[in-house]
Amino acid sequence: MILFPESIDEYINEDNTVRIIEEYIEQLDMKELGFKKTVYPTIGRPPYDPKDILKLYLYGYLNRIRSSRRLEHEASRNIEAIWLLKKLKPDFKTIADCRKDNKKALSRSIFRHIDQNFLDTIDLQTELNKDKYKLRQMIVEHPFGTIKRSWGAYYFLTRRKISVTTEMAISFLTYNMKRAWIFTRSDVPMLPPILDFLDLSNYNVYIALVKEVKK
């Protein structure tokens, strides 16, 4: 007889990237960022915390799943998504409406929350050490085209500037999380030299987050 773990948490390894998503989103002040208090479904289900929908979005982009219908499907069948949403099963319209109704908040949470503390110092640091900054650009700051090619995302699912900005922000955040996860692995070649150049980059925030989850 095959015995399965009693808790769904036992299916999720300690080094699973969904734990980073969980940790990151739980640190956000959704009210301060401008998210609506709840996300109301349209087919009689209970309202959702926007944190849960945002977790699902980040998980989807991390795994090249962008459409609301596919995210709905994953929330019902994928053990990682089920763990991340604590068994909640939002329908595709609820997922899509959350993105539509919180465009500015989504962009703000991703572009500003984790980067704000660095904006005042980056210009000064790079001016003092231009050679180091150029090397950082080659090692750390991949161009957006690389992200698009690597993830197979050759077009945006949304239209209008604010919608595209939101989709782009989610893509960048999940890409940064994935790279930070790789950087913290002990078997990554040239890891010490790479980390030496991260002092001019906000990657140290992502890496700190990853290390906290891996403790």
- Lowest-confidence region among 65-74, 166-175, 201-210: 201-210
Check pLDDT > 50 for residue 118: no
Check pLDDT > 80 for residue 19: yes
In the prediction, which pLDDT does 164 show? 54
Comparison of pLDDT for 40 and 89, the residue scoring more: 89
Q: Given pLDDT bands bounded at 50, 70 and 90, which one contains residue 105? A: confident
Comparison of pLDDT for 70 and 199, the residue scoring more: 70
Amino acid in position 214: K
- Lowest-confidence region among 29-38, 67-76, 196-205: 196-205
> CA 195, CA 105: separation in Å to the nearest integer?
31
In the prediction, which pLDDT does 114 show? 46
Please state the rounded mean pLDDT for residues 192-204: 52
In the prediction, which pLDDT does 200 show? 43
Query: Is the distance from CB of 174 to CB of 61 less than 8 angstroms?
Result: yes
Mean of per-residue pLDDT scores for the chain: 68
- Lowest-confidence region among 45-59, 62-76, 147-161, 182-196: 147-161
Sign of the alpha-carbon dihedral angle for 25, 63, 118, 50: negative
215: tokens are: 């403790």
Please state the rounded mean pLDDT for residues 82-95: 91
* The pTM of the whole model exceeds 0.75: no
Check pLDDT > 70 for residue 94: yes
Q: Where are the domains of the chain?
A: 8-214
> 152-161: buried (b, 16+ CB within 10 Å) or exposed (e) per residue?
ebeebebeee
